[in-house]
Amino acid sequence: MRVWQPGSHLSMARGAQVEDWSWKRTLRRVSTLARLTAPYKARTALALGALGAATLTALAPPYLAKLALDEGVRNQDFGLLVLVVVAFVVAGALNLGASSAQTYFTGWTGERILADLRKTLFRHLQRLSLGFFERNRAGVIISRLTNDVDALDQLVTDGVTTLFQSTLILIGSATILFFLDWRLALATLTVTPLMMAGTAAFRVYSARAYRSVRERLGLVTATLAEDIAGIRVVQAFTREPASEENFRGVNSRYRAANHRTVVTNGLYFPFVDFLSSAATAVVLGYGGWLYFHGQVSEGTLLAFLLYLSNFFDPVQQLSQLYNTFLAAVAALDKIMDVLDEEPELRDRPGAVELPRIEGHVRFEGVRFGYGDGPDVLHGIDLDVPAGTTVALVGHTGAGKSTIAKLLARFYDPREGRIAIDGLDLRNVTQESLRRQLGIVPQEGFLFAGTVHDNIAFGTPAATRENVARAAETVGAHEFVERLEDGYDTQLQERGTRLSLGQRQLVAFARALLADPRILVLDEATSSVDIGTERKIETALRRLLADRTAFIIAHRLSTIRDADLIVVLEHGRIVEQGSHAELMARQGLYTSLYGDWAEVA
């Protein structure tokens, strides 16, 4: 009953591997779960109580059937028979109530724990620094919040109940059987070791088989997803026959893997059935012989047969549980790893609020590298007076975006310092810094929500007029008004309903509304149609007025209009100055400029 999600096939082919079974780790797992359960002690207790009651009442009926036969029917005591049957129905009714309560409370607590876990995990992720998100693929992080929590879901809601209930029923039934007649019980339960051995073997083979089914199904889905996404290429290159053949291959490998599960299931389930016939034969054969010698009653035989009809289910369920359990532990480990991540950047103990800034930015001997990697910036010195528009130019990988990230303090430099209005960034709170900083990423990222929400993303308190004015200023108002619900139009996931240019204008409006003192802008490289292009230029000019701006520039007009052009090469500033100055120098800028001039 899963709903297909984009990218879900990418995480499908994962197996449950638990590496660390040390005591310490296990203890931590248990304490993590216990901490999550702690707020719901009362309900957990209720669930456990109900579970005990449900198990006890579930064990009663076969025994009562024995009583009905031996005491009521055999003694021709009809009154007693009625009494026993009433007890039988009452036991059933109690079971109804108890298992209802148990299902409800376990389910509630389980879901509550998961919701709390998701919340905690998400909150923790919000605290982590950008470095974490750049080191890990987005899909992997998302899967911690989705797939891994789901894997725990199976354990928390079903697994724990099954574990307790099946164990209790097994122990309870066995105890009653021994109480009824220990010899017959011993004889009957001889099939149990066979059952366990068979189940254990089945578990190993079927887990292996299902893993390969999952992997190959993942491949089928991935192939399908990719070929549908790339169907135009397939058709353009007339690759239909080859693609079809390839798909048949993937599909038939999946079928072959699945066939192994047919074989394991086909052997195992009839085997279980055979064992139950064998157990019946033992009960009737040995039990009959005991009956001949007056050792057991008919009622005992009936009770044995009825207990046996429920006896094998718990054994099977318990063995199925093992896989769920492994998957859940593996998921829990991954979640705990994320929770163990510490934000690399924290506010210093004495960090101050950054006062309203003028916008004078200084980089002093800044050296920086990602993680343990080599330096990507080698001694950057840069002095940007308030109100200056700085264009950062250079080849891909020259260090342009790194400078922008350091300015927003997504990272701290390895050496040297960055100061705004003379205050070292490390001495101010991150929140107060970012509130006065506007960042416009390349693709103008939009969130699902209305146009209004998207523009007011950084300033939720903004009125409709404020939003409209900001849109007006950057020239977005016109097209927003033309959308069917104006500012209330719902944008789809990642804003796919708007064109690239429109998305950029919305991102500009968002930055303008936030009215940052310092603006960091990564200019889009994608070209848009010419009308929009001109709008973007105008919008940009308005956005840049009266504030310090760092632009990772790709547009010729932007570069030429900048007050200061900083040319980067291999993490060093090689030239800086105005367009005219740099052109006169005939250096790297002049050659880069040649490229732009041709393109623009």
Return the residues of window 65-94 that contact another protein according to CB under 8 A.
65, 68-69, 72-73, 76, 78, 81-82, 84-85, 88-89, 92-93
Q: Per CB under 8 A, does 483 bind another protein?
A: no
Q: Using alpha carbons, list the distances in angstroms from residue 156 to 29, 55, 147, 160, 365.
A: 13, 19, 14, 6, 54
Q: Per CB under 8 A, does 482 bind another protein?
A: no
Kindly state the number of chain residues that form the binding site for another protein, as judged by CB under 8 A: 154
Q: What is the dihedral of CA 170, 173, 178, 179, to 10 degrees?
A: 140
Q: Per CB under 8 A, does 164 bind another protein?
A: no
Per-residue binding letters, 315-354, with another protein (x by CB under 8 A): ----------------------------------------
CA angle 244, 247, 250 (to 5 degrees): 155
Least distance to another protein, CB of residue 23, Å: 33
Q: Per CB under 8 A, does 458 bind another protein?
A: yes
| Window of 36-44, 60-68, 181-189, 475-483 that interacts with another protein by CB under 8 A | 60-68
Q: Per CB under 8 A, does 194 bind another protein?
A: no
Amino acid in the structure at residue 109: T
Out of 437, 455, 539, 564, the only residue in the binding site for another protein (CB under 8 A) is: 437
| Window of 23-31, 122-130, 188-196, 326-334 that interacts with another protein by CB under 8 A | 122-130
Return the residues of window 559-598 that contact another protein according to CB under 8 A.
592, 595-598
Q: Which two tokens stand for residue 194?
A: 């066979």
Return the residues of window 92-111 that contact another protein according to CB under 8 A.
92-93, 95-97, 99-101, 103-104, 107-108, 111
Amino acid in the structure at residue 264: T
Q: Per CB under 8 A, does 204 bind another protein?
A: no
Q: Per CB under 8 A, does 245 bind another protein?
A: no
The torsion angles phi and psi of 510, rounded to 5 degrees, stand at -60, -45
Q: Which two tokens stand for residue 75?
A: 């003694």
CA atoms within 13 A on the CB side of 422: 1
Least distance to another protein, CB of residue 542, Å: 17
Least distance to another protein, CB of residue 585, Å: 18
Q: Per CB under 8 A, does 253 bind another protein?
A: no
Q: Which two tokens stand for residue 582?
A: 């740099």
| Window of 5-13, 178-186, 369-377, 571-579 that interacts with another protein by CB under 8 A | 5-13
Return the residues of window 169-188 that contact another protein according to CB under 8 A.
none
The 3-state DSSP class for residue 74 equals coil
Nearer to another protein, 34 or 228 (CB): 228
Owner of token pair 């789809």: 492
Least distance to another protein, CB of residue 68, Å: 5
| Window of 225-233, 373-381, 476-484, 572-580 that interacts with another protein by CB under 8 A | 225-233
Q: Per CB under 8 A, does 123 bind another protein?
A: yes
| Window of 176-184, 355-363, 366-374, 431-439 that interacts with another protein by CB under 8 A | 431-439
Q: Per CB under 8 A, does 599 bind another protein?
A: yes
Return the residues of window 528-557 that contact another protein according to CB under 8 A.
528-531, 533-534, 554, 556-557
Strand segments, DSSP code E, in 292-374 are 361-369
Least distance to another protein, CB of residue 200, Å: 19
467-475 contacts at long range (C-beta below 8 A, 24 or more positions apart): 467/509, 467/513, 470/509, 470/510, 470/512, 470/513, 471/505, 471/506, 471/509, 473/509, 473/512, 473/539, 473/542, 474/505, 474/508, 474/509, 474/512, 474/539, 474/542, 474/543, 475/505, 475/535, 475/538, 475/539
Least distance to another protein, CB of residue 22, Å: 31
Nearer to another protein, 22 or 396 (CB): 396
Q: Which two tokens stand for residue 7?
A: 């990218």
Return the residues of window 384-413 that contact another protein according to CB under 8 A.
395-396, 408, 410
Nearer to another protein, 39 or 288 (CB): 288
Q: Per CB under 8 A, does 234 bind another protein?
A: yes
Q: Per CB under 8 A, does 225 bind another protein?
A: yes
CA distance 487 to 437: 25
What is the full DSSP assignment across 381-410?
Answer: EEEE-TT-EEEEE-STTSSHHHHHHHHTTS
Least distance to another protein, CB of residue 365, Å: 26
Least distance to another protein, CB of residue 576, Å: 19
Query: Nearest Cα to 87, choosing from 72, 74, 100?
Result: 72
Least distance to another protein, CB of residue 293, Å: 10
Q: Per CB under 8 A, does 255 bind another protein?
A: yes
Q: Per CB under 8 A, does 439 bind another protein?
A: yes
Nearer to another protein, 157 or 317 (CB): 157
- Residue 79 burial class via C-beta count within 10 angstroms: exposed 0-12, middle 13-18, buried 19 and up: exposed
CA distance 319 to 197: 11
Nearer to another protein, 271 or 367 (CB): 271
Nearer to another protein, 5 or 578 (CB): 5
Nearer to another protein, 32 or 103 (CB): 103
CA distance 338 to 332: 10
Nearer to another protein, 183 or 415 (CB): 183
The 3-state DSSP class for residue 329 equals helix
Distance of CA 226 to the CA centre of its chain: 22
Return the residues of window 355-374 that contact another protein according to CB under 8 A.
none
Distance of CA 15 to the CA centre of its chain: 16
Nearer to another protein, 122 or 179 (CB): 122
Contact indicator for 18, 324 with CB cutoff of 8 Å: no
What is the full DSSP assignment across 210-245?
Answer: HHHHHHHHHHHHHHHHHHHHTHHHHHHTT-HHHHHH
Q: Which two tokens stand for residue 227?
A: 């070929």
Least distance to another protein, CB of residue 153, Å: 9
Q: Which two tokens stand for residue 38?
A: 């702690």
CA distance 117 to 149: 8
CA distance 515 to 543: 9
Out of 391, 480, 514, 551, the only residue in the binding site for another protein (CB under 8 A) is: 514
Out of 17, 190, 197, 240, the only residue in the binding site for another protein (CB under 8 A) is: 240
Alpha helices in 68-77 (DSSP H): none
CA distance 247 to 96: 50
